[in-house]
Structure 1
């Protein structure tokens, strides 16, 4: 059973049925999904939660539900996911997505730090990567706050969406050595 990860303001935990409605609302919001090819239908959002839940059950880690301690609200998701083989095969990605009501509060870097701590201190990974569209400046700022760096030679065209305007992607990385050298 997964022991939830905690930060001063957040709990990163396993998905529960109570998360389905707010998760769907977040993924149906065109502003939240502006750097994705489309919004999600209810069926897609429910399937996504099922997949995320199962991965955490099987491995003990994944893209966790992010709960705000003070209110109990689902803020979104943050965590680790196996990187698609399209780029950095075998790597693990750190990622996040928050509902609009939770933007601008510093939750993404706070939860991202907890995910990286788990990646390097518990899973003992050698490196973690993160990717997004070239134009997704908010996520790129979070990556940089977390200490990930970009080598333009790693940038790529997302092959799953060749006709989508967001296909040009950037890839950021952080090694275990760099993570350990970051200030607390």
Structure 2
């Protein structure tokens, strides 16, 4: 469990499923993430993050707001499994729409990065998104990550002519 001023990053609970499903069925939340998710896809995603936590001791943790215990989404670290980030430590986040613009993603991401540097021996942490997701890559830049065009790639889950095929990569080197 990681605590920040306003958030708790924690393991997933069964009661997170319904609010996570609601996020997965929000057109705005899923705009840059491959489209709306079915209940089965949400269950598979939760199973993957739980397996990641069990195998590695970290994952895209559930993000809970301290003030009211509300599930806001996820943020954390996992082992990347696509393109040039395969095997790298990847940071990622997704928050429900009514949590946008309040600094929650940055707060959770900074806590995840701090946890990663303190607990993992990675030389760098990477992040990926699509060029159109300006909110996501803007946060990467605000976190101090550096764009690495040499690591951009075509995502294998999308056809070459699909708007989500091209992914851009940002990197943060381990602080000295």
TM-score tier, shorter chain, comes to over 0.9
Of residues 17, 25, 33, the one that matches 1:28 is 25
Q: Which residue of 1 aligns with 2:137?
A: 140
Q: Which residue of 1 aligns with 2:170?
A: 172
**CA 1:46 to 1:136, structure 2 compared with 1: closer, same or farther past 3 Å?**
same
- Structure 1 residue ranges, 4+ long, deviating more than 6 angstroms after superposition: none
Q: Which residue of 2 aligns with 1:100?
A: 97
Determine the C-alpha separation between the residues in 2 that align with 1:124 and 1:88.
Answer: 16
1:32-71 Cα distance to aligned partner (Å, 9 max, x none):
0000221110111112112212221232211100000001
Of residues 107, 130, 142, the one that matches 2:127 is 130
Determine the C-alpha separation between the residues in 2 that align with 1:34 and 1:144.
Answer: 21
Q: Which residue of 1 aligns with 2:48?
A: 51
1:57-101 Cα distance to aligned partner (Å, 9 max, x none):
232211100000001000000001111142233211100000001
Query: Which runs of 5 or more structure 2 residues have no equivalent in the other structure?
Result: none
**TM norm structure 1:** 0.91
CA shift at 1:151, angstroms? 2.3
Query: Which runs of 5 or more structure 1 residues have no equivalent in the other structure?
Result: none
**TM norm structure 2:** 0.95
CA shift at 1:119, angstroms? 1.1
Determine the C-alpha separation between the residues in 1 that align with 2:75 and 2:145.
Answer: 16
Contact 1:75 1:98 in 2 (8 A): yes
Q: Which residue of 1 aligns with 2:155?
A: 158
Which stretch shifts more, 11-20 or 81-90? 81-90
Superposition RMSD in Å: 1.2
